[in-house]
Structure 1
């Protein structure tokens, strides 16, 4: 078994969108030809504006298929209060997908998306009990030897330097659900910082967070540049390659290389990058 997944996030179509970087991302996605392209939310900068949804729809058509997409907090209207509080994902459903729990499955692997975006806060995330049950019920269909990957916009841990940034409000409950579901990897975004670490206690899982892939809203520091990740799933090992955009070369260059042994205790087999807390 061998699958290649490309994980991008926080595209932010609108005034912060970086067309030159986006074009390069498209070229690299087509060259990579992943088995699945994953987008973990924030497709637009402001969900209130239909023009931004039309722009991101046109851009997505350039990217390879199949694609698995989940919404982010920027995909919820900010100014249209009725929509924000009572129909927060109407525009996402109209332009992207009506399925808030998309599933990709192949022999030996399953990827399940979930929704952490809502209209009660501007920045924060929350995975409702119903969403948690739905994700758990989807994962339980697959035996333990299947590689299980979850996708949310908001994460369950704060990367170093992002201590003041929001994660899912009920992170303890969501972490427990992912552990009990036998999840191997959680893919997320939101912080605009590249990060690889682990979460959980009894059954730890890998957290792979993508920086913003095409937005000018990058964070300060080496890991706050435009970025994406490539995951190579094999029978016994998960390899993660972080790529960051380098102005000088005009390409996304390797930032960190990780390998994790599947099942049992989650420890990195090797790591090549600036040290992080794992």
Structure 2
């Protein structure tokens, strides 16, 4: 199975000249499914959501998505308090935690947005237990968890790590091997998370922004993720405003072993 991972498109702060190259590159990659990990828009305005809706309508492959913190109104406190995901559901998708099952994989969306938090994510005990049951019952299928906020990040990152993220990682380690796809930080990271006893049951793929001008030292990018049996390959596809072409930057191959995910050289 092949996935294309997009995140942090940020329409309202997006580079319009990169939209056609990104769509063309995704089409050329020919994924079975496009997964979009939130932050479609910059400020949850209708005009920005129209552009985001136009983008997903131009995708030539099936897609699913979860919302990000920017997809919730910031300057409309009433809407934020009472209907935080109403605009997302109207313009993008009615379901904020989609799930797709195939013969080889299960892709699980987790909504980590929180109406009372401007930036920081949240995962609840109910969500943790739900995902754990899916991982435990997956059998030979690879479980892919998609969320906007990363569950773990390096100490030098200024943003606060998601509330409940560490608890989720520790709990899911005991449920079985799985992969987490996320965004939010506008940086690229592919690595296992070692929770306890050197068991790396979680393979994390954090992807940077697909279209935003808010670059943090990295280029615009998306990921092509291939799942073949117990092996996962994450290919980084990058572009700049000068090149306007997405090309392979790097490739990371991990295989599920007895002690968890091991990088293949």
Please provide the CA RMSD for this pair. Answer: 1.7
Query: Take 1:84 and 1:169, find their aligned partners in 2: how far apart are those partners?
Result: 19
Q: Of the candidates 51, 58, 67, which is equivalent to residue 47 of structure 2?
A: 51
**1: CA distance between counterparts of 2:56 and 2:6?**
12
Distance, in Å, in 1 between the alignment partners of 2:177 and 2:80 is 31
Q: Which residue of 2 aligns with 1:158?
A: 153
Superposition pairs for residues 115-134 of structure 1, below 5 Å?
115-134=111-130
Q: Distance in 2 between matches of 1:235 and 1:250?
A: 34
Between the aligned partners of 2:241 and 2:85, the Cα distance in structure 1 is 35
Moved more, 171-180 or 109-118: 171-180
Tell me the distance in 1 between the aligned counterparts of 2:60 and 2:126.
31
What are structure 1's unaligned runs of at least 5 residues? 271-278
Per-residue deviation, residues 41-73 of structure 1 (Å, max 9, x unmatched): 0001111x1111111101111113211200000
TM-score by length of 1: 0.88
| Structure 1, 134-143 or 97-106: larger mean CA deviation | 134-143
Counterpart of 1:199 (choices 186, 193, 199) is 193
1:267 Cα deviation after fit: 1.8
Deviation at 1:182, TM superposition (A): 2.3
Normalised TM-score (structure 2): 0.92
Gaps of 5+ in 2: none
Q: Counterparts in 2 of 1:1-278, with a 5 A limit? A: 3-14=1-12, 16-47=13-44, 49-143=45-139, 145-159=140-154, 162-202=156-196, 203-204=199-200, 205-220=202-217, 224-265=218-259, 266-270=261-265
- How far apart, CA to CA, are the structure 2 residues paired with 1:242 and 1:123? 26
Q: How many residues align?
A: 261
